[in-house]
Structure 1
Amino acid sequence: MKILFVCLGNICRSPVFEAVLRTQAARAGLDWQIASAGTGDWHVGQGADPRSCASALRRGYALDAHRARQLCAADYRDYDWLLAADRANLAEIARRRPATASAQAALALSHAGIAQPLEVPDPYHGGAAGFDRVIDLAEAFARKAIERASRSD
């Protein structure tokens, strides 16, 4: 399984989902390729937001090696799934989709079978609680995705 999480700037939501799923999948013995990207280019090359790093570290996930990157055409070929944090990024994924794309795209939470909330809220303009909420949602996503994978084996 090759999964690319996509949010706006690749410094808050998608790197957290990447780190959480990578950690949880490894613990479950799953050999998944997991990465993240942003639809925007504002933060390319930068590390994850320090508030995301702090929230993730409190829960046992390291984001210190993360460097933001922008979604590119090769991602549509190199990944099985492009999972968007919200509807706006899902629409942008669809808009940029090359004619030869093989990756499927969906909202991350609904892809894992999480009905509510529909979108991962962007914590960028808020406080610590918003960043902690992203970790909660990423852990719920990882649990559901790993359960789903183990049922399909």
Structure 2
Amino acid sequence: MRVLFVCLGNICRSPAAEGVFRELAREVETDSAGTGGWHVGEPPYGPMQDAARKRGYDLSDLRARQFGRADFDRFDLIIAMDASNLADIERQRPEHSTTPVRLFTDYAPGSGMDHVPDPYYTRDFDGALDLIEAAARGLRASL
């Protein structure tokens, strides 16, 4: 099983989701990407790395990359952090691709959230991690 986590810039939400999920499901191949290319090659945002590290997640080996059409062939499941990311992903879907694309919060139904808020803007890194951990547990249970 190969799972790709996608957000806007690939420096906060999706690398955090990848880091959390790879700890929960070591047998699953994970990656993360952004729909935009502004941060390609950069490590996750410092404050997100700090918040994740305090919870035991090491994101330091991750580097931002941009989502592309080939990801539909490379992954069995693509997880978007919000509806805008999902729409951007779907716009790139190849004609015959059947790879499922889901919102991450679909796996945290009790959260009351329909997206993972971007802590780059909200500055709530711990709140984002709380939701990411809940969704990661739900995703793990669904596999």
Q: Paired residue for 1:24?
A: 24
The equivalent of 1:66 in structure 2 is 62
> For 2:109, what is the secondary structure of its paired residue?
coil
Q: Percent identity?
A: 43
Count the aligned residue pairs: 142
Letter in 1 for 2:98: S
Which stretches in structure 2 are left out of the alignment for 5+ residues?
none
Q: Which amino acid aligns with 2:21?
A: L
User: 8 Å contact 1:80–1:102 — kept in the other structure?
Assistant: no
Within 1, Cα distance between the matches of 2:113 and 2:122?
18
Q: Report the counterpart of residue 137 of structure 2 in structure 1.
A: 143
The residue number in structure 1 matching 2:2 is 2
CA deviations over 1:41-84 (Å, ceiling 9, x no partner): 00000010001100000000001111000001110011111110
Q: How much is the aligned-residue C-alpha RMSD, in angstroms?
A: 1.2
Aligned residue in 1 for 2:109: 114
Aligned match of 1:48 = 44
CA distance in 2, matches of 1:144, 1:50: 27
Mean Cα deviation higher: 135-144 or 44-53: 135-144
What amino acid does structure 2 have at the position aligned with 1:33? Answer: E
Report the Cα offset of residue 102 of structure 1.
3.2
- By how many angstroms is 1:148 displaced? 2.5
Report runs of 4+ in structure 1 exceeding 6 Å deviation.
Answer: none
2:91 is aligned with 1:92: no
Residues 6 and 34, structure 2, Cα contact 8 Å, conserved in 1? yes
Structure 1's unaligned 5+ residue stretches are none
How far is the alpha carbon of 1:96 from its aligned partner?
1.1
Decide which structure has the larger Cα Rg and report it: 1
Of 25, 29, 32, the residue aligned with 1:33 is 29
- Quick check: 1:83 aligned with 2:93? no
Find the aligned partners of 2:100 and 2:142 in 1 and give their Cα distance: 17
Contact 1:77 1:102 in 2 (8 A): no
Alpha carbons 1:120, 1:137 under 8 Å: kept: yes
Does the aligned pair in 2 maintain the 1:48–1:67 contact within 8 Å? Answer: yes
Structure 1-normalised TM-score?
0.88
